């Protein structure tokens, strides 16, 4: 039930987060404070908190320096990036002023301890209605408090005039204290996603734009800002995520007035959003989070994602994806044999990748013609699907629904369905090819219907359990050719969400993986509609360890596809041991992408041992807290998961390179119960990691067959404060370390 809120200062509090809104100006709300939950403030002190946050103006600036609103406007004297930018014909309506006309709260009970103060504790949604009577615009700002302590906001603007309103941008910002002087986000490229980058906040705007028509390999992920040097373990940080799978912006801005904000918006192309009378546009969700240390921030996000009703609940099945095993070489007998071998070693889901549909013998033809190619599949796909099901595995199938090959029946029949901006379907007027393909305009209902019906019909007739939904190019000159080439990335992104929603509704139980040449479409909006992401096309364990270590800021491990590939990486050419590949793929939703039919028995046994180990440990890995420990040696990386109840932890000690010094120093483990005792011991699965030199705390030789050693018992406090001597490893090797609550009397 909603209640009207008549208060000028509103304290929103959920979990570990407080957001104090100052609405006293009866304009767009201003965030007076957001950060650690305020637990002891009275009505009076909350009111004064808002007052106390107002800054003094420097010389030659607006006489009254208004605190920045959640949608910064020029009318506030804000000289930075405007939150709302748009105009009507003849340049009118470009300088909006928004007056607050109503506040309503839906959620946990609201209290009003003082006349002008509202305390809205617990999860819920505050809706703020604003109007600009002069410029005939109205705006609804939605602020949702998520129970774990995350806030997300969006805004919907409506045109109340009969003349159209051309929207350039609508974005939302959160203020940041000036102590927060360092930015951490990620960037990347194909096969090298999630590369972290730190830089100082400087005066001006630090703007990250994604113009890829998909989230992008180089998307910032969660943008963190904190005092220089914040780490996995410590340092106050504020995080922001623009949850959008199309073009978007994220920025950090610091003005000479001493005001500092970060914000997010959709990046609209020229003319993309033109609102007619009573038409509306809604921004993506912009998420804000606050925490101490990056691990805490990651775990907050994981708790939220895990609490969603649609979060995958079943144990994440060991997956065999046949892409790097066979590429386009589809042969029913060979693929059935692969399934046989897979089932024997414990695989639970089999995914047939690209190459099964009409004329798709390579990446130059066929996209759009979603019919099984009888040339390579004379009996259709049913025999393979049945074979896989009979072996007790789920069956998954690859699609790239938003794409079309110029060499396809679809492109020949419907050239107007291809996206283009020059108003012509002539090949030389279409966008540059990328992987020999063009983009289908799924914002057209007839295109969406075609795709949806093809996908649903195949899912239902064949009995498909899982879709790998790929997207292998950026959107360039992505216009609607049925509307003279008008920009259509916004419409395309919304249409994707609609398509996914509709397919999921029609195919209950179907799981979907978001893949875009690897990790090109990973964000919190796509993850509302998908059950797994493909982290990267680069499966090289050295690269993957880094990516997964960063991606946990966005997603918990169970949503990340991580595979054991062949010994020589197809992307980097680096050779790695099965021990390193297995111990890397463990940290995620484990799978295989390797022609396992070519392996000899000892190799199959070793792979089976990794599968068994993953299956034994996935409940922990997919529900526990992530812990990343800095070590004294930058070439060593210690990554782990500790169960929520602190009973058990599993860590990977990763030696990336050879450091100038021998492995000195100790490994210190966080996340345990300091008052308990723990047994700590190495776990060797299959071949021991190369170059392992074993310190005395192992209590035996872990490289002996079976590899079970007693380890040693230490207090949680000692493990964190004193630590254990670092075992030596060769470069690119991984050692697993298990830590279990130890009660004397039990072995």
**Contact residues for ligand DGJ, defined by CB under 6 A:** 323, 353-354, 398, 470, 472, 515, 517-518, 534, 537
Helix or strand or coil: residue 106? Answer: strand
Residues 6 or more apart whose CB falls under 8 angstroms from that of 2 comprise: 104, 105, 106, 127
Q: Which residue in this structure is represented by tokens 């292998």?
A: 472
Least separation in angstroms between residue 654's CB and ligand DGJ is: 24
Q: Which residue of this chain has its Cβ atom nearest to ligand DGJ in the complex?
A: 354
Active-site positions read 470, 537
Q: Work out the number of other CB atoms within 10 angstroms of the CB of residue 66.
A: 19
Least separation in angstroms between residue 547's CB and ligand DGJ is: 13
Residues 410 and 418 sit within 8 Å (Cβ to Cβ): no
- Residue 631 to residue 462: CA distance in whole angstroms: 51
- Among residues 173 and 451, whose Cβ is nearest to ligand DGJ? 451
Kind and range of the H or E run holding 46: helix 43-52
Residues 6 or more apart whose CB falls under 8 angstroms from that of 314 comprise: none
- Residue 535 to residue 219: CA distance in whole angstroms: 13
Helix axes 601-621, 332-345, angle to 10 degrees: 60
Q: Is 659 left (phi over 0), alpha (psi -120 to 50) or beta?
A: beta
- Among residues 146 and 515, whose Cβ is nearest to ligand DGJ? 515
Q: What angle is formed at CA 649 by the lines to CA 645 and CA 652, rounded to 5 degrees?
A: 155
- Among residues 120 and 347, whose Cβ is nearest to ligand DGJ? 347
- Among residues 223 and 472, whose Cβ is nearest to ligand DGJ? 472
Distance of CA 676 to the CA centre of its chain: 34
Least separation in angstroms between residue 585's CB and ligand DGJ is: 15
Least separation in angstroms between residue 463's CB and ligand DGJ is: 21
- Among residues 118 and 406, whose Cβ is nearest to ligand DGJ? 406
- Residue 9 to residue 123: CA distance in whole angstroms: 18
- Among residues 67 and 518, whose Cβ is nearest to ligand DGJ? 518
- Residue 232 to residue 637: CA distance in whole angstroms: 12
Q: Is the four-CA dihedral 112, 118, 124, 128 of positive or negative sign?
A: positive
- Among residues 517 and 694, whose Cβ is nearest to ligand DGJ? 517
Kind and range of the H or E run holding 306: helix 294-307
Residues 123 and 14 sit within 8 Å (Cβ to Cβ): yes
Least separation in angstroms between residue 478's CB and ligand DGJ is: 20
**The pair of three-digit structure tokens given for residue 554, joined into one six-digit string:** 């966005």
Residues 396 and 464 sit within 8 Å (Cβ to Cβ): yes
- Among residues 65 and 533, whose Cβ is nearest to ligand DGJ? 533
Least separation in angstroms between residue 516's CB and ligand DGJ is: 7
Residues 6 or more apart whose CB falls under 8 angstroms from that of 598 comprise: none
Least separation in angstroms between residue 448's CB and ligand DGJ is: 22
Least separation in angstroms between residue 537's CB and ligand DGJ is: 5
- Residue 145 to residue 152: CA distance in whole angstroms: 7
- Among residues 11 and 473, whose Cβ is nearest to ligand DGJ? 473
The torsion of the CA quartet 664, 667, 668, 674, rounded to 10 degrees, works out to -130
Residues 453 and 461 sit within 8 Å (Cβ to Cβ): no
Least separation in angstroms between residue 514's CB and ligand DGJ is: 11
Least separation in angstroms between residue 388's CB and ligand DGJ is: 18
- Among residues 485 and 541, whose Cβ is nearest to ligand DGJ? 541
- Residue 454 to residue 84: CA distance in whole angstroms: 40
Kind and range of the H or E run holding 51: helix 43-52
Bridge partners, residue 131, by sequence: 99, 138
């Amino acid at each position: 039930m909603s209640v009207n809120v008549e208060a000028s200062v509103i304290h929103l509090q959920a979990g570990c987060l407080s957001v104090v809104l100052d609405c006293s100006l009866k304009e767009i709300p201003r965030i007076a404070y957001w950060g650690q939950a305020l637990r002891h403030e009275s009505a009076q002190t909350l009111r004064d908190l808002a007052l106390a946050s107002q800054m003094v103006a420097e010389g030659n600036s607006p006489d009254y320096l208004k605190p920045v609103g959640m949608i910064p406007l020029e009318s506030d004297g804000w000289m930075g990036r405007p939150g709302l930018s748009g105009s009507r014909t003849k340049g009118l309506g470009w300088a909006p002023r928004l007056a607050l006309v109503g506040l309503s709260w839906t959620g946990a009970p609201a209290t009003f301890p003082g006349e002008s103060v509202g305390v809205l504790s617990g999860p819920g949604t505050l809706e703020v209605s604003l109007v600009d009577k002069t410029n005939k615009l109205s705006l609804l700002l939605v602020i949702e408090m998520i129970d774990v302590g995350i806030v997300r906001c969006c805004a919907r603007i409506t045109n109340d005039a009969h003349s159209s309103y051309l929207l350039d941008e609508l974005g939302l910002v959160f203020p940041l204290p000036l102590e927060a002087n360092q930015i951490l986000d990620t960037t990347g490229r194909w096969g090298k996603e999630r590369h972290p980058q730190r830089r100082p906040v400087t005066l001006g705007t630090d703007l990250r734009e994604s113009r890829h028509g998909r989230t992008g390999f180089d998307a910032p992920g969660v943008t963190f800002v904190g005092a220089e040097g914040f780490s996995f373990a410590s340092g106050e940080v504020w995080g922001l995520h623009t949850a959008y799978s199309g073009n978007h912006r994220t920025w950090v801005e610091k003005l000479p007035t001493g005001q500092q904000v970060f914000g997010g918006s959709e990046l609209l192309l020229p003319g993309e959003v033109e609102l007619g009378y009573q038409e509306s546009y809604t921004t993506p969700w912009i998420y804000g989070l606050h925490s101490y240390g990056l691990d805490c921030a990651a775990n907050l996000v994981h708790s939220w994602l895990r609490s969603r009703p649609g979060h995958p609940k079943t144990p994440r099945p060991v997956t065999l994806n046949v892409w790097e095993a066979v590429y386009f070489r589809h042969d029913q007998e060979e693929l059935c044999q692969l399934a046989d071998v897979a089932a024997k070693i414990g695989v639970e889901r089999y995914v047939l990748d690209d190459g099964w549909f009409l004329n798709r013998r390579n990446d130059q033809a066929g996209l759009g013609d979603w019919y099984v190619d009888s040339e390579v599949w004379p009996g259709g796909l049913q025999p393979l699907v049945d074979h896989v099901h009979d072996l007790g595995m789920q069956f998954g199938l690859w699609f790239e629904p938003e794409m079309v090959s110029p060499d396809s029946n679809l492109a020949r029949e419907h050239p107007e369905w291809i996206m283009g901006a020059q108003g012509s379907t002539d090949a030389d007027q279409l966008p540059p090819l990328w992987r020999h393909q063009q983009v289908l305009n799924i914002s057209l209902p007839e295109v969406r219907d075609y795709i949806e019906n093809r996908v649903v019909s195949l899912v239902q007739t064949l009995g498909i359990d899982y879709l790998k939904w790929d997207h292998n190019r950026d959107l360039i000159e992505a216009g609607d050719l049925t509307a003279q080439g008008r920009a259509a990335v916004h419409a395309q992104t919304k249409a994707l969400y609609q398509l996914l929603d509709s397919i999921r509704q029609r195919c209950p139980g179907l799981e979907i993986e978001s893949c875009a040449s690897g990790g090109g479409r990973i964000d919190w909006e796509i993850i509302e509609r998908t059950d797994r992401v493909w982290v990267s096309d680069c499966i090289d364990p050295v690269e993957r360890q880094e990516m997964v270590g960063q991606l946990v800021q966005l997603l918990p491990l169970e949503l990340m596809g991580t595979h054991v590939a062949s010994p020589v990486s197809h992307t980097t050419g680096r050779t790695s041991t099965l021990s390193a590949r297995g111990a890397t793929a463990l940290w995620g939703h484990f799978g295989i992408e390797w022609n396992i039919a070519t392996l000899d028995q000892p190799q199959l046994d070793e792979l089976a041992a990794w599968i068994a180990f993953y299956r034994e440990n996935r409940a922990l890995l997919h529900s526990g807290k992530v812990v990343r420990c800095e070590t004294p040696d930058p070439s060593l990386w210690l990554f782990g998961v500790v169960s929520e109840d602190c009973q058990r932890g599993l860590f990977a000690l990763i030696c990336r390179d050879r450091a100038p010094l021998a492995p000195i120093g100790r490994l210190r483990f966080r996340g345990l119960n300091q008052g308990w005792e723990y047994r700590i011991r190495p776990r060797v699965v299959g071949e021991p990691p190369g170059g392992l030199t074993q310190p005395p705390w192992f209590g035996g030789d872990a490289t002996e067959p079976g590899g079970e050693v007693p380890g040693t018992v230490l207090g949680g406090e000692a493990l964190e404060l004193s630590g254990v001597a670092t075992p030596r490893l060769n470069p690119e090797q991984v050692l697993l370390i298990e830590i279990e609550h130890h009660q004397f009397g039990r072995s």
